[in-house]
A and B are shown apart, each in its own frame.
Chain A
Amino acid sequence: MSLLESLLMRQETLTPVYVRISHWINAIAVILMVMSGLKIYNASPVFNFLIPRSITLGGWLGGALLWHFAVMWLLVFNGILYLFANIYSGRMKKKFFPIRATELVNDFIDSLKGKLTHDDLSKYNSIQKLAYLAAIADLILIIASGLVIWKSVQFPILRELLTGFDHARVIHFLAMCFIVFFLFIHLIMVALVPKTLLIMLRGR
């Protein structure tokens, strides 16, 4: 390999620019949706607890609703553009599939031993593949259950699929919990492998 070639290799982006932009838009949208959503939750809690005011957004229910129903467009259209570009370019298939059960078990055992390495950052290990796909699926579930809560009369099939308005609220909340859990683990992993943060910022 010539010096020039290796330099070119170094310059090659691991994460295309559209992925980086949509990642950060998604991050902002999810955080704003969670914070305003928690304020809305407090107006009529599904469960037996309230969310501390300090981590909610909007000031009062009306303000939180304004935020929630504004940022939802950002979340949805950013998500659609990301999925479209990711699937159409073939990146989805290349980076996320296949996920093999044996690899998952091995990677999981390695991670418990602290041996799961991140030497080759151009490839996702099987746990990463599963985690990112789960986050995408969870966001789709959040949007679907949100649609049922927002427009339960206008989306009857979706409403019946999620077994009614009240259940859609519980699903919406639990799906939110999952994405927050994902975010928590995601941030820990970024702290353990800080180079990934650089990659998500500058692409390499």
Chain B
Amino acid sequence: MSEKKRIFSPHEKEIIKDIHKELEIPSRRMFGKRLLSLGAISMLTGCSLDNDESIESALMVISRFNDKVQGILFDPNRLAPTYPASMITKPFPFNAYYDESEIRPNPENFKLKLSGLILDKKDWSLLELMALPQTSQITRHICVEGWSAIGKWGGVRFSDFLKRIGADTSAQFIGFRCHDDYYTSIDMATALHPQTLLSLTYADEVLPAKYGYPIKIRIPTKLGYKNPKYVKEIFVTNVNPGGYWEDQGYNWFGGS
């Protein structure tokens, strides 16, 4: 502070004089006015607001608050609507953080890894998963962008799977790591929701490469980015693992 003062104060009067001189020239005055109105416009359009770190951190605080509100609003027994087969969206859109030409499905000899607060952490092959009791449902996939599409997913009820592997269901989070380097995480209440599936099929067939071969976690009570594809590892934790989009600013709870 004192450094600044020493540098600027001797020139203060001269600077003010200079500004006054400048402002006496009409075109300069116009420029000054324009500069001010430009500032006002940038305030309105948020061009400067977007880059302001304090505003961004304030918005993130509210987003964390919205996580909590959504956790309270979430009713573990309320089911997402289901639809007749005639309403299935064809073709079901491909969506990822990369283009469809760059899809990276898991290899054929794939095994699902388990880690964290789980008693039985043995790997699971696709055949072993398919041997478990299966269920299916036709639900609406809602994307954070606003579009939605109806599809039919089948697989193991996720809450059954968590019980079978001895997951600590009193823990807060389930994290997912994917073969395409995508990652996301969900709250335990949603993981135990009856419609949350460890999905192995789409339209009654083994998950095609573009829909997440061999495992997609299908959660009709969450937005699309909370429905990971190409899942290779599932872990149970009390430390929020975040997510690919969530860490960039998408709301973490992402519930519907």
Contact = CB atoms under 8 A, between A and B. Distances in A.
Interface of A: 31, 35, 40-41, 43-44, 46, 54-59, 61-63, 65-67, 69-70, 73, 149-154, 156, 159, 165-166, 169
Contact of A57 (B46, B63, B250): B46
Contacts of B66: 69
A154 B78 contact: yes
B145 interface: yes
Nearest to B50: A59
B103 interface: no
B146 A151 contact: no
B201 interface: no
Nearest to A149: B146
Contacts of B256: 150-154
B146 A169 contact: yes
Contacts of A154: 73-75, 78, 255-256
A95 to B, nearest CB: 31
B45 interface: yes
A41 B146 contact: yes
B62 A62 contact: no
Contacts of B50: 57-59, 63
Contact of B250 (A46, A65, A70, A153): A65
Given A70-B59, A166-B148, A59 B250 contact: no
B96 interface: no
A163 to B, nearest CB: 12
B182 to A, nearest CB: 16
Interface centre among A35, A73, A152 (most CB of B within 10 A): A152
Interface stretch (B15-23, B30-38, B136-144, B152-160): B136-144
B81 interface: yes
B249 A62 contact: yes
A44 B145 CA distance: 6
A69 B220 CA distance: 21
B251 interface: yes
B250 A44 contact: no
Given A44-B143, A57-B46, A153-B220, A65 B148 contact: no
A66 B46 contact: no
A151 B144 contact: no
Interface centre among A35, A41, A46, A61 (most CB of B within 10 A): A61
B70 interface: yes
B148 A165 contact: yes
Interface string B1-44: 00000000000000000000000000000000000000000001
B140 A165 contact: yes
Contacts of B250: 62, 65
B248 interface: yes
5 contacts: A54-B45, A57-B46, A59-B50, A62-B249, A67-B46
B78 A67 contact: no
Given A35-B45, A57-B46, A59-B50, A151 B70 contact: yes
